[in-house]
Chains A and B, each alone.
Chain A
Amino acid sequence: MTRKLLFLNGIAIIFAVYHHSIYWAVTAINYWGDRFISSATPELLSIPNVFSLFLRITDQIAGSAVPAFLFVSGFLYSFSLDRQTIRQSYRLIQKRILYLLFPYIVWSTATVVFRAIEGRSYTVVELIRVYLLGEADAPFYYVPLIIQMIILSPFLFKAVKKYPVVILPIAFVIQALSSIPWYFKVLEITPLQSLNFLNFFKSSYLFSYLVWFIMGMVFFTHREKITAFLRIYRWGLLSSLLFLLILGQFEIQYIMNASGNSWINSQSSIITKWLYSLLIFSFTILLEKITPSSTIEFIGGKSYGIYLSHIITIEIFARSIYHLLPFILGQTVIFLGILVFLGVGTPLLIMYVSRITPLKTIYSYLWG
């Protein structure tokens, strides 16, 4: 089972690349229509049909990538911190944070330079935010987020060991509270003054994502009990999963209609967040039945480097296709397949080159 978490990590990074490739597929449909002839139009995207539902459902499921990373991290940090004192734990954490930070700085800088070449300029405050809050590009928020969780992990782990039944529900409640302001924003609702306290949760990824890190810790400490429980109620779990998936689709359609948007990133929805929790639980029992592919495991082991570098990679390839092979833009599934393949494959190729050239001495500082 433990080994299969590497497989889960591999699936998660492929999901992450797919999730971010969808952005380019939607961009092609909404804004690059003059470059190709296709039935994939902005109107087709905003109404429910086989095409739009395929994109929405796969995007919704692929959005489980970061929750899955956090779950695996929660599990592994529990492993590392088990039976360690707080002082020993922080000694261990120090090194880990360094190897997360160096590649993050390198790839944030690369992204800033790339955007500058594209014509964007940055103020000093914006640059500070890039490095401090992970604003080089949308997915970079993950690094400050995981670092916050790692810093908290020695205390979280002790709390999870002592009060698992209390900590996990609290984390779920905090997550639910942190989701409410998103609904106000996307539906342009002015909340009652008595709900102003929710602003405290508004811009914090930590409150929204902590639950999956804690789930990983709880799974580490009580995995036998949890998997036995999930095995008994597997059909209930599957039904709930399908129910949330369908409910989530109705919710997305409602929000799209109400807000007038042709595409909504469903990750902020509370229904989708519950769906991710159930998906992760389902995966833990599904993993018992499947033989992991060593290729996916290999990709799982390189997930951090792929995560940091895939954004620039898929943008370069999406724009190249726009200029050189525009007819592919209208073939959304093929376009997505190419972006995912290159979004995973290109970083792996550059990593390989780094390993066999003098760059190997700084390999961990580039890729983690």
Chain B
Amino acid sequence: METQTIIQKFILDELAKGRKKTIDVNDDLLGEGIIDSLGILQLVAFIEEKFNYTVPDEDVVIENFMSVNALSHYLNQKLASNG
């Protein structure tokens, strides 16, 4: 499965339960209340487990977690550079 689809599915199934039935890859995750601030931590934990990649503290910034698109773009870049 593509990174974007995996992240979108996790958010929809685990974090946005009862908040949204569908999410667009460009939806503002925090701004539109799709996930809350604790959801960011759950997202970081999920990424670290699923992709076996430790998200450095300095990368936990709003720009990287703004939307599914932003997050998958960030993650694809990091996973590619990590080989």
Contact = CB atoms under 8 A, between A and B. Distances in A.
Interface of A: 1-3, 5-6, 9, 72-73, 76-77, 79-80, 82-84, 88, 91-92, 95-96, 98-99, 223, 294, 297, 300-301, 303-304, 355, 360-366, 368
B31 A91 contact: yes
Interface in B29-83: 30-33, 36-42, 44-45, 48-49, 55, 57, 60-62
A73 B37 contact: yes
Interface of B: 17-19, 30-33, 36-42, 44-45, 48-49, 55, 57, 60-62
- Nearest 9 Cβ contacts at the A-B interface: A95-B33, A363-B18, A76-B37, A364-B18, A6-B41, A363-B17, A2-B60, A3-B44, A301-B42
By secondary structure, the A interface counts as helix
A6 B38 contact: yes
A92 B18 contact: no
Given A76-B40, A83-B62, A294 B49 contact: yes
B50 to A, nearest CB: 12
Given A363-B17, A365-B18, A5 B41 contact: yes
Nearest to B54: A3
B42 A77 contact: no
A223 B57 contact: yes
Contacts of B41: 2-3, 5-6, 9, 76, 300-301
Contacts, number: 80
Nearest to B28: A92
A75 to B, nearest CB: 9
Contacts of A3: 41, 44-45, 48, 55
A95 B32 contact: yes
A6 B45 contact: yes
Given A2-B57, A3-B44, A82-B61, A364 B32 contact: no
Contact of A301 (B32, B38, B55, B57): B38
A42 B44 CA distance: 47
5 contacts: A6-B38, A76-B37, A79-B40, A300-B41, A368-B36
Given A1-B57, A5-B41, A80 B62 contact: yes
Contacts of B32: 95
A295 to B, nearest CB: 12
B17 A355 contact: yes
A72 B38 CA distance: 9
B55 A80 contact: no
Nearest to A5: B41
Given A79-B61, A92-B31, A95-B33, 17 more contacts: A1-B57, A2-B44, A2-B60, A3-B45, A73-B37, A79-B37, A79-B40, A79-B60, A79-B62, A84-B62, A91-B31, A96-B36, A300-B38, A301-B38, A301-B39, A360-B18, A365-B18
A9 to B, nearest CB: 7
B19 to A, nearest CB: 5
B69 to A, nearest CB: 18
A365 B37 CA distance: 16
Contact of B19 (A2, A73, A84, A364): A364
Among B18, B30, B61, max chain A CB count under 10 A is at B18
Contact of B17 (A1, A73, A88, A360): A360
Nearest to A365: B18
A76 B38 contact: yes
B49 to A, nearest CB: 7
Contacts of B38: 6, 9, 72, 76, 300-301, 303-304
